[in-house]
Chain A
Amino acid sequence: MEFGLSEEQRMLADSIRRFADERVDGERLKALVDGGDSANVDLLRGLADLGALGILTPEEHGGSGMTLLDACLVQQALGRNAVPIPFTASAILAPLAFAASPGDAGAEWLPALAGGVRRIGVGLSEAAGRRSGAGVKARSGKASGVARFVIDGQGADAWILATDEGGLILVEAGATGVQTVALTTIDRSRGVLEIRLDDSPCTTLLAADPAVAARLLAAGRVALAFDSLGAAERMLERAVAYAMERKQFGRVIASFQAVKHLCAEMAAEIEPCHSLLWYAAYAAEAYPDEFELMACHAKAHMGEVGQFVARTATEVHGGMGFTHEMGLHYFFKRIGLNRQLLGNPDQVRQHAAALQGWQRSAAAR
């Protein structure tokens, strides 16, 4: 019986943290993100060298074949520094999609993804909840429709998209009839894309298996939750550090209970999130029956806690927190985008209700 990170997992997280601290410190983060670079080649190469990009890739395809929890710990470490890197789609969702698909399409892509030389964006928004005008239909190797909010889609070599039938297709960049629209979100550290398909050639990874698509969606939700956890941890650390330095009324503001209590509340909210998220990621393999529901809880709860921490940590910084210069806003925005992607807390809780048979129509969500 052990509910905690192993020595290896701690070392893994530490190595990514060190990498992020060295390579994406405050000034570098500003330069990258303000410059619109959400997929820096050097950073990708560096992460590939650390083995982070191939963490879920089977060994025969050049990866290390580790677990979702391991991959999520990397995601959390990246979130800590708001590292502008297309990790979630290329290193977590694409390998899982290939693993779940019966064909061998993965053989072509996985080694290049693990090496950081090619990238895949993943569009699951419509699987999480379809808004009017969106949705992709695929039939006999051709796809049409709109995939909105494709994660890490900008600049990718291909995209894996969920279809209305509960399938997964792979569309290569430059295929006929493909039109892309770069979306500008509050968070410039990741490139979200809209993809419009018009009878575009595609590879069917999975014909129609909503259960598999649902598990992929769950994995994406857990990964985004871990990213927010990392960002929230960092915001709290920065708030405490700032409060220990900043003096008003002749003393550091960290000695005022009004400020201390804000920090304590953030800590009290963040701490149990570790456990909830660990369990959700662990459930992917250990308790597949619970996975989807736990992923909903992780995503929804972390979304709420993230929002609370983003606001409160900024408040602790006073006016400085509101400035661009302080750089706190990168985390605020990272958390803000994560909250909305793949279902915001309200939407995800509805899904959690449906999974427990608590809706008039259990199928609807």
Chain B
Amino acid sequence: MDLTLSLNYERYRADVRRFLEQHETIWRQPMTDSDGRPSDNGRKWQALLIDRGYTCKTIPKEYGGHGGKADILESFIAAEEFHRVGASTGLANQGISMFVPTLLECGTPEQRERWIRPTIRGEIVWCQGYSEPGAGSDLANLQTRAVEDGDDFVINGQKIWTSSAHFSDMMFVLVRTEPKAPKHQGISYLILSMDRPGIDVRPLKTMTGRAEFNEVFFSDVRVPQSQIVGGRGEGWKVANTTLKHERGMLGDPGQANAMLARVAKIMEEETLDGLRLIEHPILQDRLLRLQARAHAMKFHALRLLTHGLRGEDPGLARLIVKLNGTILNHEIAALAIDALGEIGALFDDSPHLRDKGFWQTTHMFSLGLIIGGGTSQIQKNIISEHGLGMPREPKPAAAAADTGTKGRL
């Protein structure tokens, strides 16, 4: 147990701080344009970060990355410093976080050559076509079809929950190419250009009032057969390397604590009947309960980091992060809203609105995160099956026959 950093890491931290001070004018400016795409400034910042190895560190130089070795502790320190001042940690989209790592593992040399550099430099924006109306938690049940026709696949079907589809150049998508194979073995991973005829992107307005997601409809969309990652029917395997990266993405372990500090500040400043909210026994108690949980999750992140440094598999400890983290953020926002009372219910551009509506937006959006990326119930299945060794729920015989796949084999 030793939370101090060796001298070289302290030096690294000082370097990061100096870098952030020197380039403050850049990271203070918007990273995206109003349409959501990376701005010139965002791409400039990204190039600087890659150059210094603060992002895309392990991506080979030949593909436009930094070409360095992974150093978990350096990444952790850099993230900490960036979050501390509120600087962007670089362009974030599913192309960079998920598609590029997948190409590095499963792509051909030509695919890597062609796609990685412009993706990480922010010139090409990607969206992810996984979920479908009938394939949410049961993702492998996806029904969007790609049928061979000459040198092309012809795609028909629908995707949903496709964030950034309305301004993306490209999509990586899971489609069913082998309808007769068992459901997990009939899927292929394709990449396609969003300007192909037959693609219809419709914004999906959510409870926050914004369209953070889209629905994407495919009618006879043609994609060259060469634009497949991995082999035919291997899409599920390929996608799982991507999902692994999604689960491995490090959030900011200090985020909950930072949000709580903001709630505490509100409660210290606001009064109700002359009593500071922080002195209100019930609100205070709720704050303290959340404080303990936020601390626990922050130290838990340090524990996971240490497992990583030691090359150990953290097992169960890793599996609980998504479940706990999303619920914690949701409850912190709920406390802020309750502390503000009627003011907490204000939204949009109302008079008296606090923090530009951050708390209501966060309260709603964090509920979305509780559901998205594997619902809390799916997380509990993962925890109990992979963490505690409990068996899967047996499939009802009728349902297995119903899919028309198992029955025929």
Bound Cα distance A279, B297 (Å): 12
Taking the closest CB of chain B, its distance from the CB of A169, in whole angstroms, is 32
Q: At the interface, yes or no: B226 with Cβ under 8 Å from chain A?
A: no
Sampled A-B contacts (27; CB under 8 Å): A1-B2, A1-B9, A2-B2, A3-B3, A4-B303, A4-B306, A4-B307, A244-B391, A257-B377, A257-B380, A259-B390, A260-B384, A260-B385, A260-B393, A264-B387, A267-B384, A268-B320, A272-B293, A272-B296, A272-B297, A272-B320, A278-B299, A279-B299, A282-B3, A301-B296, A346-B285, A353-B278
Q: Is the CB of B380 within 8 A of A260?
A: yes
The interface bits of chain A over 308-352 (1 if a CB of B lies within 8 angstroms of the residue's CB, else 0) are 000000000000000000000000000000000000001001001
Q: At the interface, yes or no: A271 with Cβ under 8 Å from chain B?
A: yes
Task: Pick the contact of A358: B278, B316, B317, B389 (CB < 8 A).
Answer: B278
The interface residues of chain B lying within 8 Å CB-to-CB of A265 are 380
Q: At the interface, yes or no: B272 with Cβ under 8 Å from chain A?
A: no
Top 6 nearest A-B pairs by Cβ distance?
Answer: A275-B299, A260-B384, A272-B296, A264-B380, A301-B292, A3-B302
Q: At the interface, yes or no: A41 with Cβ under 8 Å from chain B?
A: no
Q: At the interface, yes or no: B22 with Cβ under 8 Å from chain A?
A: no
Q: Is the CB of B306 within 8 A of A279?
A: no
Q: At the interface, yes or no: B305 with Cβ under 8 Å from chain A?
A: yes
Q: Is the interface of A mostly helix, strand, loop or mixed?
A: helix
Q: Is the CB of B306 within 8 A of A276?
A: no
Q: Is the CB of A1 within 8 A of B292?
A: no
Q: At the interface, yes or no: B225 with Cβ under 8 Å from chain A?
A: no
Q: Which residue of A lies closest to B4 (CB)?
A: A1
A267 with B309: in contact, given A1-B5, A3-B302, A294-B295 (CB under 8 Å)? no
The interface residues of chain B lying within 8 Å CB-to-CB of A272 are 293, 296-297, 299-300, 320, 324
Task: Pick the contact of A261: B295, B380, B392 (CB < 8 A).
Answer: B380
Interface residue total, chain B, C-beta cutoff 8 A: 50
Taking the closest CB of chain A, its distance from the CB of B220, in whole angstroms, is 40
Q: At the interface, yes or no: B394 with Cβ under 8 Å from chain A?
A: yes
Q: At the interface, yes or no: B409 with Cβ under 8 Å from chain A?
A: no
Q: Is the interface of B mostly helix, strand, loop or mixed?
A: helix
Q: At the interface, yes or no: B284 with Cβ under 8 Å from chain A?
A: yes
The interface residues of chain B lying within 8 Å CB-to-CB of A271 are 300, 316-317, 320
Q: At the interface, yes or no: B345 with Cβ under 8 Å from chain A?
A: no
Taking the closest CB of chain B, its distance from the CB of A339, in whole angstroms, is 14
Q: Is the CB of B293 within 8 A of A301?
A: yes
Q: At the interface, yes or no: B85 with Cβ under 8 Å from chain A?
A: no
Q: Is the CB of B323 within 8 A of A268?
A: yes
Q: At the interface, yes or no: A240 with Cβ under 8 Å from chain B?
A: yes
The interface residues of chain A lying within 8 Å CB-to-CB of B305 are 1, 3
Q: Is the CB of B384 within 8 A of A264?
A: yes
Task: Pick the contact of B295: A255, A268, A297, A346 (CB < 8 A).
Answer: A297
Task: Pick the contact of A257: B9, B296, B381, B388 (CB < 8 A).
Answer: B381
Which residues of B (219-265) have their CB < 8 Å from a CB of A?
A: none
Task: Pick the contact of B292: A255, A263, A264, A276 (CB < 8 A).
Answer: A276
Q: At the interface, yes or no: A359 with Cβ under 8 Å from chain B?
A: yes
Q: At the interface, yes or no: B123 with Cβ under 8 Å from chain A?
A: no
The interface bits of chain B over 271-306 (1 if a CB of A lies within 8 angstroms of the residue's CB, else 0) are 000000011000011001101110111011011011
Q: Is the CB of A360 within 8 A of B279?
A: yes
Q: Which residue of B lies closest to A287 (CB)?
A: B3
Q: At the interface, yes or no: B335 with Cβ under 8 Å from chain A?
A: no
Which residues of B (105-153) have their CB < 8 Å from a CB of A?
A: none
The interface bits of chain A over 199-232 (1 if a CB of B lies within 8 angstroms of the residue's CB, else 0) are 0000000000000000000000000000000000
